[in-house]
Amino acid sequence: MTAALDHYHARMQRVLDHIDRHLDGDLDLEAVSGVAAFSKFHFHRQFKATFGVSLHRYVQLARMRRASKRLADGEGQSVTEIALDAGYETPDAFARAFRQRFRQSPSSFRKSPDWEPWLSAFGPLNSARSKIMTTTFTPEQVTLRDVAPTRVAMFEHRGDPGTLEVTIQEFIAWRKAAGLTPRTSSTFNIWHTERRPANPADYRMELCVGVGPDQRIESTDGSVREGEIPGGRCAVLRVTGDTHNLEPAALYLYRDWLPASGEEMRDFPIYCQRFLLDDPELGTAAELHLPLK
């Protein structure tokens, strides 16, 4: 039963990955059902039963999310171009839908994004992506590595993990202003608590970007500070594709790999380094590091 369920979830995950990579393409029922090799006569119900949102709604939200991020990035495209890429026939139709969802016009959002309504609007999209996940790992996927210390700029999130996306967008804006792009500067997450603590207010993690030894770390509100990810031995587990939720990989390291390894953990939190892959079709990658003595 478990193997059959894992296979079914893998087919549905393939659909989400396909949608994310082809937001400019044909994402109607027949095209998308074919990705998972399911009948188009049943797939719309399968999708909603699995993800809690209709296929049309998911695609609509995914395109609007990409559009809103392009607006916030403020690079290159005009509002009209972004509206057409999001599947709207006119900029006015896009503006009405955008204002209804985010309580800001596209031009106002581009100048000064209000992330709270943005976060609320994408609740169904985030919930859908968390419904299924790959949970199977093997000892062969874990490598022991000596890592060098890394000087980083640290941006902390404390409190309800449901608002983490707002902190992420603030971090991205700061990193961009500092000229530290993901292609040229390493990106890390450090987790001080579990992903869903009993009290959401206890949640704490840090978003980090690697900086050179002489680079100054500045922020107008003091939200960014200098820190270091220490060097030393680590057990490293690489995850590719959908890296939104790394909790299953972390649980594998703690529950399965560590007890069988005979290793002991060092006094530093588990963390990951994130990567942009050369081939966008492959998604993203993250290397989970469990510090060892």
The tens digit of pLDDT for each residue in 48-88 reads 988 888 999 999 999 998 898 888 876 678 889 999 888 88
Q: Who's near 163: CB < 8 A, 6+ residues apart?
A: 119
Give dist(CA 89, CA 97) in Å, integer. Answer: 12
Q: In what order do the strands lie in the sheet with 142-147?
A: 142-147, 232-241, 284-291, 271-276, 187-191, 204-210, 150-158, 224-229
As to burial, measured by CB atoms within 10 angstroms (0-12 exposed, 13-18 middle, 19+ buried), residue 265 is middle
pLDDT value at residue 217: 85
Contact at 8 Å (CB) between 150 and 210? yes
The pair of structure tokens assigned to 57 is 């709604």
Number of H helices, E strands in the chain: 12, 8
Confidence of residue 242 (pLDDT cuts 50, 70, 90): low
Mean pLDDT of 234-248: 85
pLDDT number for residue 195: 81
- Amino acid 135: pLDDT: 61
- Beta strand residue intervals within 159-215, DSSP E: 187-191, 204-210
Question: For residue range 124-167, what is the model confidence (pLDDT) as tens digits?
Answer: 887 787 677 656 789 999 999 999 999 999 999 999 888 888 88
Q: CA of 59: how far to CAs of 55, 69, 148, 245, 274, in Å?
A: 6, 16, 42, 20, 26
Contact by Cβ (8 Å): 263, 37: no
Q: Is the pLDDT of residue 208 over 80?
A: yes
Positive or negative, the Cα torsion across 99, 103, 108, 114? negative
Rounded CA-CA distance 38/136 in Å is 24
258 has pLDDT over 90 = yes
Burial of residue 220 (number of CB atoms within 10 Å: 0-12, 13-18, 19+): exposed
| Distance in angstroms between the alpha carbons of the first and the last residue of the chain | 39
Q: Which of 6-10, 184-188, 256-260 is modeled with the greatest confidence? A: 256-260
Distance from C-alpha of 169 to C-alpha of 266, rounded to nearest angstrom? 31
In contact, 179 and 130? CB cutoff 8 Å: no
Identify the helix (H) or strand (E) that includes residue 226: strand 224-229
Give the separation between CA 142 and CA 161, rounded to whole angstroms. Answer: 27
Q: Is the pLDDT of residue 2 over 70?
A: no
Which structural domains are found in the chain, ordered by start? 2-129 (1.10.10.60), 139-291 (3.20.80.10)
Structure-block tokens of residue 31: 């095209």
> What pLDDT does residue 21 have?
86
